Chains A and B, each alone.
Chain A
Amino acid sequence: MASRRKLSLRENAVGYSFILPAFIGFLAFMAYPLFNSLYLSFMDWNMFKGASGSTFIGLQNYADAIDNEYFRIGLMNNLLLVVMAVPLLLILSLVIAIQLNARILGRGLLRAMYFVPYITTITAAALVFSALFQPEFGPVNYVLQALGVDSPPGWVMSVKWALPTIALFWIWKHLGYCIVIYLAGLQGISSTYYEAASIDGANKLQQFFRITVPMISPTTFFLMITSVISSFQIFAEVMVMTQGGPGTASVTMVYHIYDTAFKQYNMGYASAVSWIFFVLVVIVTMVQWYGQKKWVKYA
């Protein structure tokens, strides 16, 4: 429509006036910072040296990042977090959402119980988790010992378990969100599919894999994209629970950016890392986007 007829000056002006605040925000808090951080990533600039102390060093920051052990560990840990947390989160939330979608007693209350962690302040919840998972006298290990586990994990105090503990916390926090999104998706599946399938003799398990899983795949795709991005950005959990430790066991990319920028004031280097991080997020998202054709079914 818009292309067919010529828009009057007035019409254009009205349209622009509606998007003006958003556009100002876009320029000031998106476009400018983005280009500025790209520029900074080519500079050697420690904030303490002041504006004059910056020199152009080309791709040196990028090379430094790739050489930096912390960067490589952070990247590795981020990938590990995705692999550990995202599939588990999606499977758990789909299974629970299907159960909650059935007519059961106390559905509303149950839904609220699952959802409450999502709205909690992350740092307060992280304090609680640190206490619960305290290795020597925390309730979690008490229960594990009561169940016969001789040497329960050291959780955030252990090199091996620090990252899985963060993943567990992250899953607990995001489960309710995914359940709600799945419930919305499940309500869009017409019950006639299930009726037809049960007439044809398909059992519940067959119905789940042949009807529910494919029909819900657009929702799974949406949740996969958003969860992968959100797991890449894990930071507050690390900050409160482990500070990247023990040793470097739970350093993530965002923690590395924070540490180099706002503890060491090495703004040029941190900008380069944040750009690598950005490109990585784009690549991972693109891979998922093009991969969707293989498994996402749109009705």
Chain B
Amino acid sequence: MSSSMTLTIRWVRNLILVAVGLIMVFPLAWMLSASFKYESEVFQMPIQWIPDNVNTSNYTTAITEFPFLNWYANTALVTFYIVFLVLFVSTIAGYAFAKLDFKGKNTIFLLFIATMMIPVEVRIIPQFMIFKELGLINNVLSVALPWMFNAFSIFLMRQFFTSIPNDLLQAAKIDGCNEYTTFGRIVLPLAKSQITALFILAFTWGWNEYFSSLIYINDPLKQVLSVGIASFKGEYSTNFAVQMAGATLALIPIIVVYLFAQRHFVEGVALSGVKG
């Protein structure tokens, strides 16, 4: 193959990649642009990406008509709980399954892993009734608590901890550490990047949690963003500009976090594909 041909192929490839990439971000760019337009201009063609008259009233409408501040606060709180629960429970359990010996270890691990196939829909009705009994309906705790058990993240952490050399743990014990101090002082610092990756994963799970919030929370003031924002479609069925302002408000925090921690997001997801 001549070198000019390879060069052409490379250019074509790059062009296609950029074109598909633009299609991927097109909806979000369009959303942002439309959120600053007057409703009459939203669907004007061809698309005017930067409107002549920048209109911020859609945002004012969204914020005054809907309890956005509450939604932000509730979403942040639920994300905080979920991140805490996932990190705490999965790191210690993952470590135990990787490095400690106890009776029934393999059976329990298998039992945990098997639960990955159980769809959340199977558990949602009994859980709804538990939370109703406990008076936790309309409380973000009902959304967060089930994350106390997450087989996927336990598995992820176990996979990582198995790669820590046993000699290192032995050495720590000879130096007078018990299992708890070994874990806290030796293992956790080693796992910093994996924990960051899991942190990011748990953060997206928490920020975007939808199904259980929809079911356990029905007071609009106690609601989270993902469910709250969905109500825009009903309330503003004919005002797409306001819908887009609302969608932008819901997406900005997570996208800003993503831009700051891009590497960790990608690492976290890549980690989720670890094999056996």
Residue pair B21, A110 in contact (C-beta under 8 Å): yes
Q: How far is the CB of A102 from chain B (nearest CB, A)?
A: 7
Q: Which residue of A lies closest to B149 (CB)?
A: A25
Q: Return the contact of B13 from the options A99, A235, A240, A258 (Cβ within 8 A).
A: A99
**A105 near B130: Cβ-Cβ < 8 Å:** no
Decide yes or no whether A274 CB sits under 8 A from chain B.
yes
Q: Is the CB of A274 within 8 A of B18?
A: no
Which one of A36, A105, A139 has the greatest number of beta carbons of chain B within 10 Å? A139
Cβ of B248: which chain A residues have Cβ within 8 Å of it? 124
User: Which residues from chain B contact A105 at a C-beta distance below 8 Å?
Assistant: 14
The proximity string for A residues 207-218 relative to B, scoring 1 for CB distances below 8 Å and 0 otherwise, is 000000000001
Q: Nearest chain A CB to B162's CB is how many angstroms away?
A: 13
Per-residue interface assignment for chain B, residues 168 to 201, with 1 indicating a CB less than 8 Å from any chain A CB and 0 otherwise: 0000000000111001000000000000000000
- In the bound complex, residues from chain A placing their C-beta under 8 Å from that of B115 are 26, 30
Q: Does B54 contact A (CB under 8 A)?
A: no
Complex interface: chain A residues within 8 A of B225 (CB): 121, 124
Known: A15-B105, A37-B122, A121-B226. A240 touches B233 (CB 8 A): yes
Complex CA–CA separation, A262 to B111 (angstroms): 30
Residues of chain A lying within 8 A (CB to CB) of residue B226: 121-124, 236
- For chain B, give the interface size range: 35 or more
Interface check A257, CB cutoff 8 A: yes
The contact string, 1 if C-beta is below 8 Å from chain B, for chain A 245-267, is: 00000000010011001100001
**A205 interface hit (Cβ, 8 Å):** no
Which of A14, A30, A222, A223 is B102 in contact with, Cβ under 8 Å? A14
Q: Within 8 Å of chain A (Cβ to Cβ): is B240? A: yes
Residues of B106-128 at the interface with A, using a CB-CB cut-off of 8 Å, are 108, 111-112, 115, 117-128
A202 at the interface (CB under 8 A from B): no
CA distance A11 to B99 in the complex (A): 12
B13, B14, B21, B101: the one contacting A7 at CB < 8 Å is B101
Q: Which residue of A lies closest to B148 (CB)?
A: A25
New A-B contacts (6) at CB < 8 Å, excluding given A2-B101, A104-B17, A111-B266:
A7-B101, A32-B126, A131-B243, A132-B27, A172-B27, A222-B275
19 A-B Cβ contacts within 8 A? A14-B179, A16-B102, A21-B92, A33-B124, A40-B125, A104-B10, A106-B18, A113-B21, A120-B254, A123-B226, A124-B246, A125-B28, A127-B243, A127-B247, A132-B27, A142-B43, A177-B269, A274-B121, A278-B118
Give chain A's interface residues, CB within 8 Å of chain B. Answer: 1-2, 7, 11-12, 14-16, 18-19, 21-26, 28-30, 32-34, 36-37, 40, 96, 99-100, 102, 104-106, 110-132, 134, 137-139, 142, 172, 175-177, 180-181, 183-185, 218-219, 222-223, 229, 232-233, 235-236, 239-240, 254, 257-258, 261-262, 267, 270-271, 274-275, 277-278, 281-282, 285
User: Which B residues lie at the A interface, using CB under 8 A?
Assistant: 10, 13-14, 16-18, 20-22, 24-25, 27-28, 30-31, 34, 42-43, 45, 47, 85, 88-90, 92-93, 95-97, 100-103, 105, 108, 111-112, 115, 117-130, 145-146, 148-150, 154, 178-180, 183, 204, 207-208, 210-211, 214-215, 225-227, 229-230, 232-233, 240, 243-244, 246-248, 250-251, 254-255, 258, 262, 265-266, 269-270, 272-273, 275
